Structures are given as C-alpha cells and as structure tokens.
Structure 1
Amino acid sequence: MHVSTIILPLIGSLISGFGGRLLGYYGSSILSTSCVLTSFVFSIMIFYEVGLCNSVCYITLSPWINVGTLSINWGFIFDSVTSIMLIVVTSISTLVHIYSISYMGNDPHCPRFMSYLEIFTFFMLVLVTADNTVQMFLGWEGVGLASYLLINFWFTRLAANQSAIKALVVNRVGDFGLSIAIFAIFYIFNSVDYLTIFSLAPFFQNYSFSLLGFYVNSLTLIGLLLFIGAVGKSAQLGLHTWLPDAMEGPTPVSALIHAATMVTAGVFLMIRFSPLIEYSSTVLGTLIVFGSLTTFFAAMTGVFQNDLKRVIAYSTCSQLGYMIFACGLSCYNVSMFHLTNHAFFKALLFLSAGSIIHALADEQDMRRMGSLSYFLPVTYSLMLIGSLALAGFPFLSGFYSKDFILELSQISSSSNLNNSISALACWLGNLSVLFTAFYSFRLLYLTFLNNTNSIRKNIIAIHESDSLILTPLIVLAIGSIFVGYSTKDFFIGSGTNFWQASIFTLPFHSKCIEAEFINTSIKWLPFFLSMLGIGLASVLNLSKFVVLNWKVHSFFAFLSNKKWFWDPIYNRLFIYPTLTFGYNVTFRNLDRGFIELLGPYGMMNLIPLWAKSIKKFQTGQITHYIFFMVLGLFFFFFLFYLLKTLKYYYLLSLVLYLVLIFFI
C-alpha cells in the first residue's frame, strides 16, 4: 500500500503519455484520475496508521548507490509530516485532475496534459517520502522539470516559453544551494540518511568549516544553504520573480503548483530539517527576516495587480512568507498547519478563477470584468469563501493558522533574544493582513460586484461551469471552512503528540503554549486589520469619489505596480553583463576568432586548392553528417579487418599510398 501510493501516479503518467493516442481523451482522463484517486485513498489509510495509531513506517526497497563510504538505498519514510503531505498532495491533485477533465476538454493534447499532471504528483510524492537527501533531491529536481513542462504546455505561445525558462533558471540558483548543502551534510556526517543525520546533529553544534580563513559553524552553513534551496522553490524574496510569471500555464497547473506541489517543497524542506535548523539561531533569524519581508512585499504588490491570476499568485507568495516566518519562530507544526489550510483555500481561489476565465473566453484582466455575480452565482459564492479564508475571517481555515502565527510573533517579539527582528517581523506580518484583505475584496468587487466592463460578445456567452468543474470547487470550499477548525487541536493543540519525533523543537524555543495566554486585545488585532482592509476596499469601490481610487502618484504605489523593479535590476546586474561578455569575448574573440583561425579557416589555407572542395560536404544537414560518420565507421572496421588478415607491412604501405595520393 505504501509503495503503491507513490508508484500509481507514475504508472498512470506513463500509460497516459505513451498510450494517449490509443486511450483518447476520455480513456486517459479516467485512467489518470483513477490512479491519483487511488493514491489518495491509500494516503488516508497511511494517515490513519501513522497519525492515529502512532505507527511510523520505514521501507527499504533495494540498494541504489554504493561507492566507498557513500551508501544510498531506495527507501521511504512514512511519519506524521509525510502522512499530512500525502493527504495534501493527493487530495488537491485528485480534485485538479477531475477539474481538468472539463477545463481541458477542448484541448487536442489533453492526454499529454494529464500525463504531466501525474508525473508532477509522482515527483512530489518522492520528495516528501524520501528517507535520504539524494532521493529527496531527485524528487526536488523532478518537480522542477514537471513545472517546466506544465507552464510551457502551450508551447506555441512565446510568453509560456519565456515563463517556463525563467522558472527553470531561477530555481537553478536555489537548487545549487541545496546541492552544496547535501555535499556538506555528507562531508560532516558521512551519510545522507535522515535518521543518521538527525541523530548526530547535536554532537556537531560546535563543529566549524574553514572557508578562506574564516570559521563558519557547520550547522549554520548547512542551514543557510538549505534555506537557499527553499528560497528558490518557495519563491521567497529575491528568487520570487518566477512565481507570478508561472501564470502563463493552464489554470489547473497554477492551482497544483501553488497549493500542493512546487512551492510547498521549500517549506517542507525547512520542516523536515528542523533537527538541524534548531541548533542555529542565525538560520532561525534569517528565516524570520526573509519570511516577514516576503509576506509584506508580496501583499503590497498584490494590491496593484490587475491580472486575476497574478493577484492570487502574489497572495501565495505572501502566505509562503508566513510559513517560513513560522519556521523561524521554531513553530514548525504551526507552519505545517498553515500549509494544510492554505492548500484548500488557495486551490479553491485558483480553480474559481479558472471558472471565471473559462466563462469569459480566456479574459484575465479584472478591469474588463464586473457584475459576474448575476451570471456566475455559484462561482461567486465559492470565490467569496476562498477570499474570506485568505483574509483570515473568523472560523474559516485561514483564521486558525495565520492568526496563530501572528500571536506567536507577538510572544517572540517580547521574549526572544532577537526581539528587534521579531518585533519588525510581527508588524510586517500584521500590516500584511491589511493588504491581504484589501486585495482579496478588491478582486471580488472588480470581478463580481462593480459594473461590468466586458464586451457584449463575452457577456452574451457567459455561462456557469459544468458539474466537473463545480464539484471540486464545492469540495475545496467545504475544506476551506472546516479543515482549520477540525484539525487545530490535533495539529497544534497543547499536549498533542501527533508529530512525535518527525518535528524537533528545543524546549526553550517552544511558544505554542505561551500564545494561549497573551492579552485578548492582541489576539483581536489581526481581525481588526482584516476588517479595515475590507472596509477600505469597499469604500474605494463603492464611493463616487473616483479621485481616491488609486491615483498612481504615490511612490509606493508606483513601485508596487512595477513589482519593485526586481526584473529590471536582475537584467541590469546579471543578464545584460553576461550576454555582453558572452558575445564580445567568448563568441567574437574565441569562437569566431582564435578557434576558427587555428581551426577550419586556418587549416584551409595550408592544404592544396583542390582540397578546398571539401567545403562542399559541409552542408549543415545533420543527415549528411550522420552518413559520413557511418561511412567512416565502416572504413575503420575495414582497416581493422585488414590488420587481422594481412601482414602489417602490407597495411602500412596501403596507408602511406593513400596519404601520398591525398597530398600530391
């Protein structure tokens, strides 16, 4: 059952991909959805076994790599963190598959799309169930590859090509940091297995690396390198630029990337390596700073976006900042709790946005929408639930996890050694609540409640989506309402032993119990800020004073509308100098200069004029080159045969004769 949970999406992907022409649209859709649904059922069984019966399972299939002291096996670990991630990944993936059956019904390449979705799910399952860093890195890279294939699914579109390449290249920076971290882990612990690494971590608290004459604590260096990997995958500030551009892929892809697979990998990495991160206050402080800055930056930027999917994408970036923020506070269980809640309402928002785009003939600009509540009442109701959950409205899923993170930041700002960092992060997190509520309801007003700005042709064609699209939305809406309330005590309640040894926290770092006893007025602060954001959005959209409605004369408004110029800065500092160096130095001076003068052009001047006719054979056709390669291979075998059958001097005379004929 455990291995089948992982293997089934791979089997379905291979059959749907290679046999899509035989299975057709319905066959590939039913097969792929059935495989992922079966994995979801198995995940529920694993959750019952691990989470409720407290029975952790370790499986070793076969040896993989054995070189000296490096010994790696194909192995899987099923503990509390893995069981929750399995539920999240397989449930969201199943709903996205069902949604895609109708959403991608008119696409001629639907079997290929289903195959890519399943391979995405498979690699994410490999990542969360691996029991060693190398196997985890395999799933990590596989998730990046699958995201490239899905973002670039409509490969005839230039924007999709550019976005997929950008996502792949930006993530290479984080992947490089993670690979160096794996090398450092093996150098210190002589092992890549989780159990060995985590059990030996306390003994290496004072072990240091010597880098260029400086001594760096080993666990601190490993933690920072692991965080670089998380910055790339989870789109933290600095490497976040790929996430909004990833919206060029189909909407089901956006839901799967943002809710369950790609971006949650970095947060999962921080939670999985909590036994190493806990011993470095530097890494914890870095997580707090980057998480809070990402939360605030993304929330502010989302206010000034007009593309429907990009607004939700920046909200994902902001919520990921909360998760990293919580890991920096040593509250990994709260981070996992918010990850679980976020998966449901974020998938609901993206799939609801897909329903809107589907109804409006692929229109994504919110300024060209309006009054859709009359035409799409079900989608409006479901989008309202998702937006309220995102804004942290009381008794919805986002309220229980996000507000608890802010309460923990209040505790840390008054008791932590790095209280100045925690205080700054606390205020940035609370201000982000205001912006989150504002852009969530700005989206609702521009899309559903304001007067319509759509063209007549789109208005006439507007229709509510079919049952295959609405059913996953209803299921996600139920999860967005009840998951937070029903699992709060189970995940983060005082005295719960659900996480057991899968999450490690030093005793003096734990703050969950203290958060229960803070002042009630402080607990109400996120709610009041959220209501203030909703009120501001309502006033600016319902008021007749249009002058107040975002005159872009404000400095911050201008910067946010331009996404704080991250892309131009990267282009000026890194891209343009690299391209200029590549053209002027490596291409003009080396390839077209030094190498060609000593190579083709230089050698052509040293041979007889009649031999220059060889240039005619350089046609540029790969089929011609393959022909000459095969011909040369046969000539080599012929000479080898002569060497065995004739005497050596006969062969030597033959070779000399051919050489003389060639140069005379």
Structure 2
Amino acid sequence: MNTTPTLMMTTFIILIMTTTKMMLKHNYNLKDTKNSLTTAFMISLIPLSTLLNNENEIMMSSPTIINTTTMNINMTIMLDYPSLTFIPIALFVTWSIVEFSMWYMSTDPHLNKFIKHLMTFLIAMIIIITANNMLQLFVGWEGVGIMSFLLIGWWYSRSDANAAALQAIIYNRIGDIGLIMTTAWMIGSASMNMQEMFVQHETINMIPIIGLIAAAMGKSAQFGLHPWLPAAMEGPTPVSALLHSSTMVVAGVFLLIRLHPMMQNNKTALTACLIIGSLTTMFAAASAMTQHDIKKIIALSTTSQLGLMMTMIGLNQPMLAFLHMSTHSFFKALLFLCSGSFIHNLDNEQDIRKMGGLSKTMPATTSTMTIANFTLMGMPFLSGFYSKDTIIETLINSHINSWALSMTLIATMLSAMYSMRIIYWTLTDFPRSKQKTHQETKMPIKPIMRLTIGSILVGTMTKLSTLQTTTIITMPKTIKMGALLITMMGIMVSADLMFMHPHQPPQKPKKINLFFNQLAFFNTMHRTMPMNTLKMGQQISTELIDLWTLENWGPKGLTNSITPLIHITTQQKNQIKNYLTVFTMTTLLATLLTVT
C-alpha cells in the first residue's frame, strides 16, 4: 500500500493546525511553530525518497464540490515529481526563516501575527504546487498575492512600505488578468482539470498561452512588470527571504513548468519566453551592478535568476528550470538571511558603501555569505553550479538565435561581478560606517548554517540521486568550461573595478548609470504617468470645459447669437438708461416750456 498520500496529508494537517492554533491562542509559544515545521519537513522527505526509487504520480480527489452542466469541480491534490520535490524545499526554507524571524523581529510587538502571516504564505504556495485544476491553483495564486501585500507593507507607518505593497499587488493584478483569461478559456473550450487539458494540447490556440505567459511575467517579475520586486525590499528581511526563495516569485515559473505540455509545441510561445527570459536576466544583472542597497542587489539577482529559468522554459527544458528553481531557493534564502544579520548588527544600515570590515566582527556570517555568493556565481561543486552550468551548456548546444545566448552569458559575467561587489564592500577592508557594530549572536547562526549546508549539498545530492542519467559528453572542452570561464572573467573584471575605485562616498547617481539605476525609468514612470493623467483631466475639466466650452456655447455664446437677431427685428438698441435719460429730459423740457 502506498503511504505517500497519507504522509502528505499529515504534512498539510500539521501546517493548517499550527496556523489555526496561532490564530486562536494569544499567548502561543512560537517554538511550537518551529517544531511543527521541522516535523512537517521530516515527514515530507519520506514520499520524496519513494519517488526517487519509482517515479510514480498520485492523485487524490475529494467528492464533487460544485456540479455544473459541463463539468464537476473537485478538490484534487496532485503528487508528482515537481510537487513532491518542492514541498520539502519550501518547508525547509520556511523552517529556517521562521527561526531567523524569532531573532530578527524579536522587538516587534506583533511577532506572533508576523509568523502567522509567514505560515499562511507557505500554505498558499503549497496549494499552488499541489493543485490539479485551475480553480484550486487560482486560490493559492491569489493567496500568495495577498500575503505578499500584507507582509511587504508590514511596517505600514512608512509611506515607502505602503507604496511598495501597492506596487506589488497592482503589478500582480496585471499578470492575474492573464491567468483569469486562460482559466475562462479552458472552462469554455477544454476543461479546468490539467490532465484533461493536456490531452488536447495540440488544439490549444494562442489566447490561453498568452494569458499564462502574462501571469508568469507578473508573478515572476519579468521585464516590463519587473519594478515591484526591488521595491518589495521595503518589507522586513525574513519576508524578502521567503518571497524570493520558495514562495511568490517562483510561482510564475512553476505555473509554466506545470502547464508546459500546453505550450511545448507552440514555437511562438517558446520564442516569446526565450526573449523575455534572456532580456530579463541581462537587464536585472546590469541593474544590480548600479545599486548600493544590499537587499536591492540581491532582489535584482533573483529577477536575473528567474529570467534564466524563463529562458529554459523557452528552450523546452522545464525540468532544468525546475532544477535551478530548487537549488536557487537555498542560496537565495541564505543570501537574504546573511544580509539581514549584517543589517541588524549595523543598526539597520543597508548601503554597502557604509559597511566594510565585517569579516572581523562577524566571522560565521561572513563565511556563509561568501559561500552563498559563490553558489550564486555557479562555482563548481556548490549547488548553483549543477543547475546554472547545465543551463548554459544546454543554451550553447541548442539551435537558437545567438542573441539569447549572448544575453545569458553577459548576465552570468555580471552576476559574478555583483556577487564579488557584495563580498568586497561588506566583508573586506576597513569599516566605513559610523554605526556601532554589534557582535554576532548564536541565535541566527543555526538557520543560516542549515541553509549553508543545503546550498552546498543539494546539487551533489541531485547528482547522486537515481533520477540522474549521465550522458556522454560530446561537446568541446571550451563549451564545457564556457560558464566557468565567463564567471572567472567576471570576478577578474570586478576585482579590477574595485581597485580602480576603492572608496565610493554616497553620491547622486551619474547620468551614465541612470538607465539601469532607475530600472529603465519604470520607477519615474509610476510618478509621471499618473501625474500627466491627472493634469490632463484637470485641464479638460477646467480649461477646456469651463473656460472655452461654457464661455463659447453658454451665456456669452447665447448673447452673441441673439443680439444680431434683435438688431434686425427692432430699431431699439436696448440702451434703457439712454432712453430713460432722453424721456426724463424731454418731459422736464416740455413742463418748463408749458409753465413759461
């Protein structure tokens, strides 16, 4: 008898019961939340190990909830390769982030509520991962959207946090239009259940596929809908870590991986994904080079990695995108937790130009930060290498337009450069801050070390798993070493840049950097577009209507049109004062003449 469904249901029940308990009890012990996440993670590993031995797919369906004339809607949980692999990752990362939050947010009066929000966020993501019909997926999709809104705007007394939360929800609503359109199309012409939909993949036209790409662009912050992701850094650091690693932003890419059979034969859709992905990965990496806020650099690096996943979907390789998504979760969460540790110990300083010399005062976080940055670069035998290197090899070996390949290689070089920039400015040299640097404490080191072990070993574990099928290398050594050569070149150029400009005092951005620094002017567009719209509305309502229309067609226009008519019909000029004066004078004259 297969135990997978039972074990996965146990995991769900643990999470839901913990969150419910937190809602009902005011004095809930947060250590219980951490323990229940640990238990849920350990349980979820058992189905994963059975999956590695025999690749099976299990569906669990409830009785029909909604009966319609054309279809029955059930609650269905799909336990297949992506869901069984990603659930333990999401649980592991959330477990580490919740433990870190208990230290980072310890002074917050509403810490209990904060952890509750993080748990709800996780549950919404698991709903997306396990959904087998579009309605269920949409519930999770909106769940992560609303939770990100609440968490980014956690410090709601700050206007920047409110603006960032609004920006996140509005950009996501733009993408959601696409998902709603796809769902509506499927209800009308195919079916809401994914399996039934995949059977008809040859007959599917462009409309639902455009909707899916738009949804993924909104949620995964692809170029055009990208500004909300760096802006989301206004939220607390644990939120950034969870948002960027295993929930929210990967949901868009996960949607395309899950529904890939719909678009695998559609060359137009795949080309669109390839172009969007390669443009995003290059643009975000270039933008990261011009930023000085440590969290914004890491956020733009997420956008760059998501672009890489999108490129893989465009190359018809969803499993490679999924592999990178899995390894990326660990080192991205680690990068954010390390930067959170620095920020907290430097009295909330986020500008890397004001840091420096932290390797002396915070040795453990320094080591983990360096490992995380090397993993992001794709250094051999760390987990990022196994996915990133394979992605670049696949790109080089595929018959595609070399433009996408060039963009990706430039982005790889830039990612090595901004990673070295973080290491150089924050860890080496002398302290540049006036703030008092606190010594690191034991509390945040545990979750950071746990994620570091994940970042180092996950790639190797994937390589050693039974899913791995080794292929014979049929490519030249230069191509095989291509990614590594580009990375090494990036490190060298970065070191050169650092030694050329050793001290950069905070200053206004120069004109040359302005395009990337301002995220292609999308941030200024937020202000200029509404401003111009409001001004135009004001001009139309006041100047156009009041001063011109009403003047010309109102009383003045009426006077101008009636006066000539009066002059035609009568000799009187309507000058009543003159008439009265003449009448009075005449009367007086007549009276005087009569008297005399």
TM-score (norm 1): 0.77
Q: Of 402, 406, 410, which aligns to 1:431?
A: 410
Provide the residue aligned with 1:361 in structure 2.
347
Which of 514, 518, 521 does residue 565 from structure 1 map onto? 521
2:455 to 475, 480, 484: 480
The residue type equivalent to 1:531 in the other structure is: M
**How far did residue 331 of structure 1 move?**
0.9
Is 1:532 equivalent to 2:507 in the alignment? no
- Structure 1 residue 69, shift from structure 2 partner: 1.1
Report the residue type matching 1:523 in the other structure: K
Hey, what's the Cα distance between the residues in 2 that align with 1:199 and 1:231?
26
After the TM superposition, which residues 422-501 of structure 1 pair with which residues of structure 2 at under 5 Å, given as runs? 423-455=402-434, 457-459=435-437, 462-466=438-442, 468-488=443-463, 490=465, 493-494=468-469
Q: How many residues align?
A: 538
Query: 2:382 aligned to 396, 399, 409, which one?
Result: 396
In the other structure, the counterpart of 1:199 is 199
The one of 22, 42, 60 aligned to 2:27: 22
Q: Deviations over 1:147-177 (max 9, x none)?
A: 1111111222211111111101110000111
CA distance in 1, matches of 2:123, 2:354: 38
Q: Percent identity?
A: 34
Q: Tell me, in whole angstroms, the C-alpha distance in 2 between the residues paired with 1:121 and 1:302.
A: 28
Distance 1:579 1:41 in 2: 55
Preserved contact between residue 50 and residue 78 of structure 1 (Cα < 8 Å): no
Q: Deviations over 1:375-398 (max 9, x none)?
A: 001100000000001111111111
The residue aligned with 1:113 is 114
Q: Distance in 1 between matches of 2:377 and 2:502?
A: 26
Measure how far apart 1:470 and its partner are.
0.7
1:478-521 Cα distance to aligned partner (Å, 9 max, x none): 111121122036487437xxxxxxxxxxxxxxxxx69x422110
- Residue 144 of structure 1 aligns with which residue? 145
Instruction: Kindly provide the CA deviation profile for residues 423-469 of structure 1, in whole angstroms up to 9, marking residues without a partner as x.
Output: 111011001111101111111111111322111x413xx21132x31
- TM superposition score normalised by structure 2: 0.86
Structure-2 change in CA distance of 1:545 and 1:240 (3 Å)? closer
2:256 matches 1:270: yes
The equivalent residue for 1:576 is: 531
In structure 1, distance between residues paired with 2:42 and 2:409: 38
CA contact (8 A) 1:359 1:465 kept: no
Pick closer, same or farther for the CA change 1:132–1:577 going to 2, 3 Å.
farther
The CA distance in 2 between the partners of 1:424 and 1:551, in whole Å, is: 33
Structure 2: 5+ residue stretches without partners:
1-6, 546-596
Alpha-carbon deviation of 1:67? 2.3
C-alpha displacement of 1:579: 4.3
Determine the C-alpha separation between the residues in 1 that align with 2:454 and 2:172: 31
Looking at structure 2, the residues matched to 279 and 257 of structure 1 have their Cα atoms a distance apart, in angstroms, of 32
Q: CA deviation at 1:570?
A: 4.7
Letter in 2 for 1:483: V
Are residues 1:13 and 2:19 paired?
A: yes
In 2, distance between residues paired with 1:265 and 1:333?
A: 15
Q: Secondary structure at the match of 2:35?
A: helix
The answer on whether the counterparts of 1:219 and 1:279 sit within 8 Å (CA) in structure 2 is: no
How far residue 42 of structure 1 moved from its aligned partner, in angstroms, is 2.5
**Which one is further off, 75-84 or 560-569?**
560-569
Shift of 1:586: 9.8
1:328 aligns with 2:314: yes
3-state SS in 1 of match to 2:27: helix
Q: 1:326 to 1:127 in 2, by over 3 A?
A: same
- Correspondence 1:43-58 to 2 at 5 A: 43-58=44-59
Alpha-carbon distance, 1:88 to partner: 1.6
**What is the alpha-carbon distance in structure 1 between the residues aligned to residue 503 and residue 126 of structure 2?**
50
Where does residue 101 of structure 1 map in the other structure?
Answer: 102
Q: Which amino acid aligns with 1:538?
A: A
1:283 pairs, out of 254, 262, 269, with 269
Q: Distance in 2 between matches of 1:491 and 1:332?
A: 19
**Where does the alignment leave 5 or more consecutive residues of structure 1 unmatched?**
205-217, 496-512, 591-664
Q: Distance in 2 between matches of 1:270 and 1:263?
A: 12
Q: Distance in 1 between matches of 2:455 and 2:228?
A: 27
